[in-house]
A and B are shown apart, each in its own frame.
Chain A
Amino acid sequence: MTRFVVRRLISMVLVLFAISVLTFLIFQAIPNGDPAARLAGRTSTPETVAAIRKSWGFDQPIYEQYLTTMKKILSGEVISYAQQVNVLHEIEQDLPATLSLAIGAGIIWLALGVLFGLLSAMRAGRFSDRALTVLALIGVSTPVFLLGAVALYFLAFKASIFPNGGYVPLTQDPLQWLYHMILPWLVLSVLFIGIYSRVLRSSLLDTMHEDYVRTARAKGISERRVLLRHVLRNSLIPIVSLWSLDFAAVIGGGAILTESVFNLHGVGQYAADSIAQLDVPPVMVIVMLGAFFVVVLSAVTDVVFALLDPRIRLTGR
C-alpha cells in the first residue's frame, strides 16, 4: 500500500514535470510568439522590447527561462504576459464557476447515466432499450457547443425560460446561481449520460451471466434484489473510475466548450483565451492543474477500489 502510494507519487511528479516541459516547448516553437514584443505592446520601440527582454529574462537560454517560469509558478508569483496579473489569483476567481459546473453536471450525468443504463439492461432487446440506445448514440454524436448554442437559442433567446448564459456566484444569490447553471449542467451531461448508460448496459449484461448471480437467484433472492445488490454493485466499478477521470478533467478546465458557449468565465475559458493570446504562463498553470487532478483522482480511485474489492491488487504501474 505504502509502496503503491510512493510509486504513484513519483510517477505523478514525473508526468507533471514532462507536461510542463512539453507545454513550454510548444509555445517556444511559435513564430511571432516573442513574449517581449507582446509585453511591450503595439506602439513600442525596439529599445523597450530589448529592455523588457532583458528584465524578464527572455534573452536567457530556454532551460533558464523554463526554470524561472517554474520557480514563479511554484512560489505563486506567476504573472501572465498579456494582462500582467497574477495567474493564480485569476484561476482562483474562475474556479467557483468551473467547480459549480463540474459538481452539478457530475451528479446529473452519474445519476441519469446509471438510471438509463439500468433500464436499458433490464429491458435488453425490447423497445425501451432500443429507444434509449438511439438517444444515447445521438447524445454521443452531437458536439456539445452545437447543443449548447441550439439550447440557448430556443430556451433562452426565443422562449426566455433560461438566462442567456453568464455565471452568478453561489454566495451572491443561490437561486440565480441555480437558474444560471441548469442549462450548462444539462448540456454538458448529455454526452456523458450517453456514454455511461452504454458502458453500464454492456457491463450489466456481462455480469448477469456470472456464476455468482446464478447462485444468488438459486438461493431464492428476489430478482430486484439480485439486480441491485449483486449485479449493479459489481458493474458500477468501471462507471465510477470513468466518472472520477471525467470529473477531474472537467475541473481541470476540460469543459472549455461548455464554458465558452455559456460564457461562464471558468478555468477552461481562461485557458482558451490565454492560448488565443499565446500567453504561456496561464496555459502552463491550467494544463498542469488539469493533469494534476487527472493523475490524483485516478490514483485515489485505484486505492478505493483496492480497499473495496480484495481481488484488485495494487501494482506500481
Chain B
Amino acid sequence: MATVDSTVRAGAPVAPGADVGPPAPAGVGPYRLGLRRLRRNKAALAFGLLFLVIVVLCLCAPIYANDVAHTGPNANHVTDTVKVGGVTKDVVGPTGEPIGPTWQGRFFLGADQNGRDIAVRLLYGGRNSLEVGAIATLITMTLATLVGIVAGFFRGFVDGVLARILDLIWAYPVVLLGIALGTSLALGGISLGPLHLQGNSLLVPALIIGVVYIPYVAKPIRGQVLGLREQEFVDAARVGGAGPLRIMWSEILPNVSSTIVVFVPLMVANAILLEAALSYLGAGVQPLNPSWGTMISDGIRLIPSAMHLTFVPGIMLVLAVLGINVFGDGVRDALDPRAKVRLEEHAEEASR
C-alpha cells in the first residue's frame, strides 16, 4: 500500500454509481476505495450521522439557551416556578427534589438540585466533553505520530530513549496517572512556557488525556515505520538526495496516514470516556464548567430521588461514544479489511 502519490485526497468525490460494479480500475487511491467501502456500510454511516447530530446540537447550545430555555448553564432557579400543562410547579420542591422533564421550552429535561436547566447544561456540557475529546485527540495524534516516526526512522539511541519514555507512560496505571496529574493541576494550574493554564481550564484534562494515550498510538506507528524505512521508495528518495526530514515528511508520513485516520475516531471515543471517568473522580473538568462526566457524577448520589440527573447525560454520553465507535469501526474496515489496528486492546483502561 505505497501511497507515494501525493494527488490522493481523502475527501475526493466519488462518481455516482461508482460503488458498484467490477474491481476498481487502475489509478484509484486507497482513500477513494475506502470511501466507497464506507459508503456501503450503512450502519457505520448512520452512527456517524448520530455523532454528527450530537456535535451540531452541542454547538448550538447558546442558541438553545437564549431562544428556547431563556437561561444559562449556571443560572440557578431554586425558588422559581414553572407552568406545566396549566399547573404551576416548583422547580425545586420543598424537600429539595428537582423537577423532572417538562417536555417544553423551559426545563425540557428537568432541573438539577440547584434549579439549573438540565437540557441547557447537557448541551454546554457536551461542548466541553467534545472539546476535551477533540483537543486530547489532537495532542495524542500529533505527538504520537512524531514520536512513532522519529523512533522508527532513526532507530538506535533515539528509539531507545523514546521507547523507554513510552514504556514509562504505558506501565503507569492510566487512571492513577490521570487523577494524580488532574488533582495536582486542578489545584495549581500549569505553566508551559508563555502559556499559563488556570486549574479549572478545560485544557488541563485535555492535556492529561492527550499525554496518557500517546503510547497506544505511537507504538503501532513506530512498528509500521520500522518496516517502511526498508522499502525501495525510501532508498530511491535517499539516492535522490532527500534528507531525513524530507523522507519522514513526504515518504513515510503519507504511508502511515491510514493508520492515523483509523485511530482518530477511536481516540475521540476513548478521550470522552476518560474525561467522564476523571470527572467522576474529581480530577477532570472542574466545577462551574459542566461536562457529561461531571453531570453524571453529580447525579449519581441522587439517583433514587431524581433519576433524570444521571440518565440524561449518561444516555447522551453513551450515544455519542457509541456513534463514534461504530463509525470508527466502519472506517477501519473500509481502509484496511485486514486491519491490524488494535487500539481497543489497551485503551479500555480509560474506563475501568
**A joins B in a complex:** yes
Given the interface pairs A11-B167, A22-B168, the reply to whether A32 lies near B314 with Cβ below 8 Å is no
Q: In the complex, which residues of chain B have a beta carbon less than 8 angstroms from the beta carbon of A23?
A: 180
B28 to chain A, nearest CB (A): 24
> In the complex, how many residue pairs between chain A and chain B have their CB atoms under 8 Å apart?
166
Is there an interface contact between B351 and A257, defined as CB atoms closer than 8 Å?
yes
Interface residue A283 (Cβ < 8 Å from any Cβ of B) = yes
Can you identify 6 A-B contacts, CB atoms within 8 angstroms? A30-B187, A33-B187, A137-B329, A143-B277, A272-B179, A287-B176
CA distance A257 to B274 in the complex (A): 11
Is there an interface contact between A257 and B188, defined as CB atoms closer than 8 Å?
no
Interface residue B348 (Cβ < 8 Å from any Cβ of A) = yes
Interface residue B196 (Cβ < 8 Å from any Cβ of A) = no
Interface residue A186 (Cβ < 8 Å from any Cβ of B) = no
Given the interface pairs A144-B351, A238-B345, A260-B281, the reply to whether A254 lies near B173 with Cβ below 8 Å is yes
Interface residue B5 (Cβ < 8 Å from any Cβ of A) = no
A66 to chain B, nearest CB (A): 16
B158 to chain A, nearest CB (A): 15
Is there an interface contact between A249 and B318, defined as CB atoms closer than 8 Å?
no
Centre residue among A157, A192, A198, A256 by max chain B CB count within 10 A: A256
Interface residue A281 (Cβ < 8 Å from any Cβ of B) = no
Q: State which of A78-86, A145-153, A211-219, A301-309 sits at the interface with chain B.
A: A145-153
Q: In the complex, which residues of chain B have a beta carbon less than 8 angstroms from the beta carbon of A87?
A: none
Residues 311-352 of B at the A interface (beta carbon under 8 Å): 311, 314, 317-318, 321-322, 325-326, 329, 338-339, 342, 344-346, 348-349, 351-352
Q: State which of B78-86, B241-249, B295-303 sits at the interface with chain A.
A: B295-303
Closest-by-CB residue of A relative to B319 is A141
Closest-by-CB residue of A relative to B350 is A143
CA distance A254 to B171 in the complex (A): 11
CA distance A249 to B172 in the complex (A): 9
Q: Which of A22, A157, A254 interacts with B304 by CB under 8 Å?
A: A157
Encode contact with B along A112-144: 1 for CB under 8 Å, 0 otherwise.
Answer: 000000000000000000000000011011111
Closest-by-CB residue of B relative to A252 is B173
Interface residue B181 (Cβ < 8 Å from any Cβ of A) = yes
Q: In the complex, which residues of chain B have a beta carbon less than 8 angstroms from the beta carbon of A250?
A: 352
Given the interface pairs A191-B348, A257-B351, the reply to whether A153 lies near B326 with Cβ below 8 Å is no
Interface residue A271 (Cβ < 8 Å from any Cβ of B) = yes
Given the interface pairs A142-B318, A250-B352, A275-B179, the reply to whether A137 lies near B325 with Cβ below 8 Å is yes
CA distance A250 to B311 in the complex (A): 27
Q: In the complex, which residues of chain A have a beta carbon less than 8 angstroms from the beta carbon of B311?
A: 150
Interface residue B120 (Cβ < 8 Å from any Cβ of A) = no
Given contacts A192-B348, A294-B171, 4 further A-B contacts (CB under 8 A): A15-B167, A29-B184, A257-B351, A272-B179
CA distance A149 to B276 in the complex (A): 14
Closest A-B pairs by Cβ, 4 of them: A141-B321, A290-B173, A141-B322, A31-B188
Interface residue A181 (Cβ < 8 Å from any Cβ of B) = no
Interface residue A27 (Cβ < 8 Å from any Cβ of B) = yes
Is there an interface contact between B351 and A191, defined as CB atoms closer than 8 Å?
yes
CA distance A302 to B199 in the complex (A): 42
CA distance A246 to B174 in the complex (A): 12
Encode contact with B along A194-222: 1 for CB under 8 Å, 0 otherwise.
Answer: 01001100100010000000000000000
CA distance A126 to B57 in the complex (A): 35
Q: In the complex, which residues of chain A have a beta carbon less than 8 angstroms from the beta carbon of B293?
A: 143
Q: In the complex, which residues of chain B have a beta carbon less than 8 angstroms from the beta carbon of A227?
A: none
Is there an interface contact between A140 and B303, defined as CB atoms closer than 8 Å?
no
Residues 251-310 of A at the B interface (beta carbon under 8 Å): 252-258, 260, 271-272, 275-276, 278, 283, 286-287, 290-291, 294-295
CA distance A157 to B322 in the complex (A): 28
Number of B residues with CB within 8 Å of any CB on chain A: 54
Q: In the complex, which residues of chain B have a beta carbon less than 8 angstroms from the beta carbon of A14?
A: 164
Q: In the complex, which residues of chain B have a beta carbon less than 8 angstroms from the beta carbon of A317?
A: 163
Q: Which of A30, A272, A295 interacts with B171 by CB under 8 Å?
A: A295
Interface residue B61 (Cβ < 8 Å from any Cβ of A) = no
Encode contact with A along B171-214: 1 for CB under 8 Å, 0 otherwise.
Answer: 11111110111011001100000000000000000000000000
CA distance A294 to B188 in the complex (A): 31
CA distance A141 to B47 in the complex (A): 13
Q: Which applies to chain A's interface (DSSP): helix, strand, loop or mixed?
A: helix
A261 to chain B, nearest CB (A): 8
Interface residue A155 (Cβ < 8 Å from any Cβ of B) = no
Closest-by-CB residue of B relative to A261 is B300
Is there an interface contact between A18 and B326, defined as CB atoms closer than 8 Å?
no
Residues 122-136 of B at the A interface (beta carbon under 8 Å): none
Is there an interface contact between B172 and A287, defined as CB atoms closer than 8 Å?
yes
Is there an interface contact between A254 and B184, defined as CB atoms closer than 8 Å?
no
Q: In the complex, which residues of chain A have a beta carbon less than 8 angstroms from the beta carbon of B174?
A: 249, 254
Q: Which of A15, A138, A206, A238 interacts with B322 by CB under 8 Å?
A: A138
A194 to chain B, nearest CB (A): 8
Is there an interface contact between A33 and B184, defined as CB atoms closer than 8 Å?
yes
B249 to chain A, nearest CB (A): 27
Q: In the complex, which residues of chain B have a beta carbon less than 8 angstroms from the beta carbon of A276?
A: 183, 282
CA distance A23 to B173 in the complex (A): 11
CA distance A255 to B176 in the complex (A): 10
A283 to chain B, nearest CB (A): 6
Q: In the complex, which residues of chain B have a beta carbon less than 8 angstroms from the beta carbon of A252?
A: 173
A16 to chain B, nearest CB (A): 8
Is there an interface contact between B342 and A206, defined as CB atoms closer than 8 Å?
no
B225 to chain A, nearest CB (A): 16
Q: In the complex, which residues of chain A have a beta carbon less than 8 angstroms from the beta carbon of B181?
A: 26
Interface residue A178 (Cβ < 8 Å from any Cβ of B) = no
CA distance A14 to B168 in the complex (A): 9
A10 to chain B, nearest CB (A): 12
Encode contact with B along A2-19: 1 for CB under 8 Å, 0 otherwise.
Answer: 000000000100110011
Q: In the complex, which residues of chain A have a beta carbon less than 8 angstroms from the beta carbon of B280?
A: 143, 145, 257
Closest-by-CB residue of A relative to B159 is A317
Q: In the complex, which residues of chain B have a beta carbon less than 8 angstroms from the beta carbon of A286?
A: 176
Interface residue B269 (Cβ < 8 Å from any Cβ of A) = yes
